Homo-oligomer: A and B are copies of this chain.
Amino acid sequence: MKIDDNFYMKLAIDEAWKYQLLTYPNPAVGCVIVKDGKLLAIEAHKEAGMPHAEINALKAAYLKVNPNSVVKTKSSSSDIHEFFLKNHNDFFNDCDIYVTLEPCNHIGKTPSCANLLKELKPKRVIISVKDPNKTAAGGLETLKNANIDVSVGILEEEGLNLLLPFISWQNKSCIFFKMAQTLNGSIDGKISGNRALAYVHTLRDKIDLLVIGGNSVRVDKPTLDARYIAGRAPDVFIYSKNKIFDNNIPLFRIPNRNVIISDDLFKLLDYKFVMIEGVYTLLDKLKERIDFLILIVNSKIKNGQNALNDIDINFEILHENYIGEDKIMFLKRK
């Protein structure tokens, strides 16, 4: 196997996928640091407001060589920035820094990564994708103007796949479908393991709106909250022509939750980050509206209902993660 720029960029991309969607409204970004040929850090941005991927990687790389450095005690992005501006001692001069996305050039919740890198003067910065976000872009120019060797477009297709949710919620609404099944497509009863269920609750905590079919509400009476992670219950959109529901169903009993009952999908466009939870029939109805599908697959073959209908959809696998006994597949329609 070739150990080259593509190899290290792939490590950065895979690390970023672990936090895909959880960084909302920020993009999922990964960063790898190689110092004089030694792999020192594989890190990612984990959550909005937390340090960017580059900052996490700079800290990890520095600590790998200086395990007792005081930077160990710094967790906020500003503190880590400040530490390195004062104490880098040219540590990064022989480093190759791989980032899946052009380092940000604007000062948001954290200082600009491009400006920090400019001061640290790494040997090379290797970027997969130029930032499509006008506000944050310009990092490339900042680095080039500081005479840092910059390469752009390494594993660009994989880098763009990683950015797909971010680009969606930047441009318009990001609407994705979530479905759980067994290996053979069975959807009956409890399918997913507990860690996969906690993952779904983590997603519910992040999204602006949860869409569910009227029939599911009537039959399954779900609460649709994020109790497994003690998170925020999202607003709910019940997709139904028939507007009459039993108000005692638990989902109506969540304080501060808006519930919309409607069959007008245009209303979804008022929200930035929307998850639809359902099975094959709803997927087939809404397939033209979604940006991607999250398919949670439990590794068993089981008897049960399998709603095949007349569905015919081709997908590209963007990525797969493993959570306990389940796989999380990110699929894009072809």
Contact = CB atoms under 8 A, between A and B. Distances in A.
Interface of A: 1, 3, 15, 36-43, 64, 181, 183-186, 280, 283, 295, 299-304, 306, 308-317, 320, 322, 325, 327, 331
A321 to B, nearest CB: 12
A299 B317 contact: yes
A303 B312 contact: yes
Smallest CB-CB A-B distances: 8 pairs:
A185-B185, A37-B38, A184-B185, A1-B42, A299-B315, A300-B314, A301-B313, A301-B311
Given A183-B295, A308-B186, A3 B64 contact: yes
A315 B326 CA distance: 11
A331 B299 contact: yes
B301 A315 contact: yes
B43 A1 contact: yes
A50 to B, nearest CB: 16
Contacts of A314: 299-300
Contacts of A64: 3
A4 B3 CA distance: 17
Nearest to A187: B184
A22 to B, nearest CB: 16
A311 B185 CA distance: 12
Contacts of A181: 184
B299 A3 contact: no
A280 B43 contact: no
